[in-house]
Structure 1
Amino acid sequence: MSGILLLLCFGILLLLKVPLGVSFVISSALYLLLNGLPITCVAQRMVNSISYSFPLLAVPLFIFLGSLMNTTQLTRRIFDAAKLFVGSVRGGLAYVNVLASLIFSGISGAALADVGGLGNIEMKAMRDEGYSDEASVGITLASGTIGPIFPPSIPLIIYAAVAEVSGVRLLIAGVIPGILIAAFLCVLIAFFAKRKNYPVHISTSSSREKWKTIKETLPILILPPFLVGSLLMGWFGPTEIGAVACVYTILISRFVYRELSLQKFWLAVKEAIRSTALIMFTVASASIFAWCLTVAQVPQNLTSLMLSVSQNPIVLLLFTNLLLLAIGTFMESISAILVITPLVTPMLVRAGVDPVHIGIVIVLNLMIGLLTPPVGMSLYMGSIVTGIPFERITKYIVPWLLPLLLSLLVVTFIPQLSLWLPSLIFGK
């Protein structure tokens, strides 16, 4: 069984709507059987891929952290604090939306956690303030893409594990691109605020009430800069940061804000276990599929083919962007990372592209894919949260794809935006 047949078998299973992890296992098992290789390799590779990967331990921790945030009122406190800084200008709540997403991304590390948790609060507040559904939904979903780029980030950690690169360098590499995305979104908000006459948030809070809000939210507001600062200073790795953040969030939710009951705690645990089991099975099954691809020399052949067409890294990155944007329209982001990383990374590395830069490009592409139909998981989440039909939400997001695509082009073709900070801290 050749590599082409392996990919064909995998594609047929996906078209039959077989779950991704199961598709990985079945196609890999068939490849092993038809080539006379021991079927026990399936279990061995799957177990080893998650048993000996220390960075992957961060994934369930950040999933649990996002669940904790969503089952308590911490996300609302973050939003209320952000309103104090930029809420009084025209379109203020739109800026607050982006700022709060940037803050919350340093805690949840996942776009869907941003949309399902903080996004629900943001969209309701903007609607109550007089914003149209087009503005409130579009801005919220677009700002949710910052989460997986700005550290910590579950997709970046998974890419690091698959590509075997430093998870810490990769997370730090996402700092400047994450801020860049937020800046581009704010530029478009400023344009629409004048053109469409966005509302001005009139605060009725006194100075004493504002100061009280700041003091109350300070315990949770210091967590994101602490997480990022710990990475920059080298105090903790991704896994340690996940553990520290979980313990800290539990303590302040229970003893400072007194909002974490035993019932809410177990609800967060069950949600985290369910999500972790699904992701880890998919990661494990992808490892045997990637190994079969390597045995069949698919990455090597693809690399040789693409390098015969062009050895210019700019051309290859442009091709990769087009491929990823297309894949992102129908495949969920983590699944796409597991499938695409073993295929495109060797080709780009051989052309001279840094694997850390490749990780940022891949994840940013796939986060934009969360906003494109037919899959568009963020679009479906927005539809569930707001009750607005999926088709209307798809129209609302179109203008906000412009700053995201512009960010993608800038990050892709100016690699130092991703590589400068890790190089400054850790050297070349």
Structure 2
Amino acid sequence: MTFAPVFILLACIGIGIPVALAIGIAALSFFLISGTVPPEIFVQRMVAVTHSFPLLAIPLFIMTGVVMNHAGITSRMMSFAQAMTGHWKGGLAQVNILLSTLLGGVSGSANADTAMQSKVLVPEMTRRGYDPAFSTAVTASSSIISVIIPPGIGLILYGFMGNVSIGKLFLAGIVPGVLICMAMMATVAIQSRRAGLEPAFEKPMPWAERGRAFVGAFLALLVPVGIVAGIRLGFFTPTEAGAMAVLFATIVGIVHGELKPKHIRPILEQTVQATSVILLVICAAGAYGFYMTWERIPAVVAQEMLNLTTNPYSLLILINLLLILVGMFIEGSAALILLTPILVPVIEQVGIDPVHFGIVMVFNLTIAGITPPLGTLMFTACSITGVSIARFIKACIPFYIVLFAMLIVLTYIPQLSLWLPDLQFK
């Protein structure tokens, strides 16, 4: 067994080579030095990954989020969130969290959510007297909810790499997503009282105005409901749900009169750019996965972990610590793609449900996005808002505490994730 590609991968990441290229270089090294596998297989394995029908859901859901941004649907959802929570202390911070939860059912991307809210909400929060570091921390931390609420792209990747039902994963993310939202909002409420932050509105908005805000956002709010219901009732697969979401978002944008022909080009450009980054990692990981399978690395790692313990609770502690460590240095999607084929066989051997584990794994690796030294959500938010990394980390401490607490809760109370899938897929 050769471990040279593993060391090459770590070295490439260590010197700052982009993750997709680092994985590709490491994979290619195996084909060049093995002497038993023709190098042509490297290209074949990269291309073969793109033939997967479930992966088509990724560009479709990315396009849904882009279309909604251009169609003004995102701003309508923000108006609704503000109408419901704007009168609370720290109202704009509460709007930030609630909007992340609503957008989770639209874009499914924490990075997209972080970038959008950093540009739109943080300047407004700063203008109203919020500490920019606090605003940035709220924005990056709350965007983690986006990957848990269906249709999270991380759930699609995990389902594809681990051969787990994506429909069940979508259902499994609903209750945890709502609970994380509630925990985050409670944390912000406490922080806002301590800091003496004022609400966005002096008094609650009249119910008539709240109703109008709800009507404006109603069609957009139907997207995640329609996705889950359509999959459950057998009208379409998760991939086809992505196509329906794009169609529905386009129709809503036209109905509202805000989606114009001039938006077609930027929508396609942004979708292609975002999709290409993810798929390049997936293609490189496909070739790297061939190396791991050829050398039986997943089986060896699984056996070594099981030699340490076969207790499901102890094993989950070890895996969570491993994921936190890996996530601090490797971008979440790439880590998810690399580790899912290794860890799923391990947890299945000790009776851990792969759907439950998928929620834990995706949530864990996304938390790593706001942790130093290489958290992508942290860098995205700070680069847009101009807040230093040191100030961000200090402001994020309360959110680290609540997010890791929620990780423990989701890890050891599997029914929070499995209740809806068990109810609907009996």
TM range (shorter): over 0.9
Structure 1 partner of 2:136 = 137
Q: Does 1:237 align with 2:240?
A: no
CA contact (8 A) 1:364 1:408 kept: yes
SS state at 1:107 partner: coil
CA contact (8 A) 2:58 2:156 kept: yes
| Greater displacement, 160-169 / 388-397 | 388-397
CA distance in 2, matches of 1:420, 1:211: 31
CA distance in 2, matches of 1:206, 1:149: 32
CA distance in 2, matches of 1:219, 1:119: 25
Change (3 A) 1:212 1:310: closer
Which aligned pairs between 1:165-180 and structure 2 lie closer than 5 A?
165-180=164-179
TM value normalised by structure 2: 0.93
CA distance in 1, matches of 2:423, 2:175: 13
Structure 2 partner of 1:293 = 292
Structure 1 partner of 2:398 = 399
CA distance in 1, matches of 2:135, 2:15: 36
CA displacement, residues 216-237 of structure 1 (integer Å, 9 cap, x when unaligned)? 3333233333333334444332
CA distance in 2, matches of 1:345, 1:186: 32
Q: Does 1:195 align with 2:199?
A: no
CA contact (8 A) 2:130 2:197 kept: yes
Change (3 A) 1:267 1:113: same
Tell me how far 1:319 sits from its aligned partner: 0.8
| Greater displacement, 9-18 / 342-351 | 9-18
Q: Does 1:311 align with 2:310?
A: yes
| Greater displacement, 235-244 / 324-333 | 235-244
1:25 maps to amino acid: G
Structure 2 partner of 1:223 = 223
Tell me how far 1:211 sits from its aligned partner: 4.4
Change (3 A) 1:239 1:119: farther
CA distance in 1, matches of 2:292, 2:160: 17
Count matched residues. 424
Structure 2 partner of 1:338 = 337
Change (3 A) 1:212 1:416: closer
Change (3 A) 1:390 1:260: farther
SS state at 2:3 partner: helix
SS state at 2:106 partner: helix
Structure 2 partner of 1:157 = 156
CA displacement, residues 9-31 of structure 1 (integer Å, 9 cap, x when unaligned)? 22223234333333333333332
Structure 2 partner of 1:186 = 185
CA contact (8 A) 1:101 1:147 kept: yes
Q: Does 1:213 align with 2:219?
A: no
Structure 2 partner of 1:96 = 95
Name structure 2 gaps, 5 residues minimum: none
SS state at 1:202 partner: coil
| Greater displacement, 230-239 / 343-352 | 230-239
1:197 maps to amino acid: G
Tell me how far 1:208 sits from its aligned partner: 5.7
SS state at 1:201 partner: coil
CA displacement, residues 60-91 of structure 1 (integer Å, 9 cap, x when unaligned)? 01111222233343222111111212222223
Tell me how far 1:425 sits from its aligned partner: 0.8
Structure 1 partner of 2:255 = 256
CA distance in 2, matches of 1:210, 1:362: 37
Tell me how far 1:183 sits from its aligned partner: 1.4
CA distance in 1, matches of 2:383, 2:346: 39
Structure 2 partner of 1:39 = 39
Tell me how far 1:322 sits from its aligned partner: 0.8
Tell me how far 1:338 sits from its aligned partner: 1.3
Structure 2 partner of 1:78 = 77
Root mean square deviation, CA, Å = 2.0
Change (3 A) 1:14 1:56: same
Structure 2 partner of 1:410 = 409
CA contact (8 A) 1:104 1:224 kept: no
Change (3 A) 1:3 1:422: farther
CA contact (8 A) 2:118 2:385 kept: no
TM value normalised by structure 1: 0.93
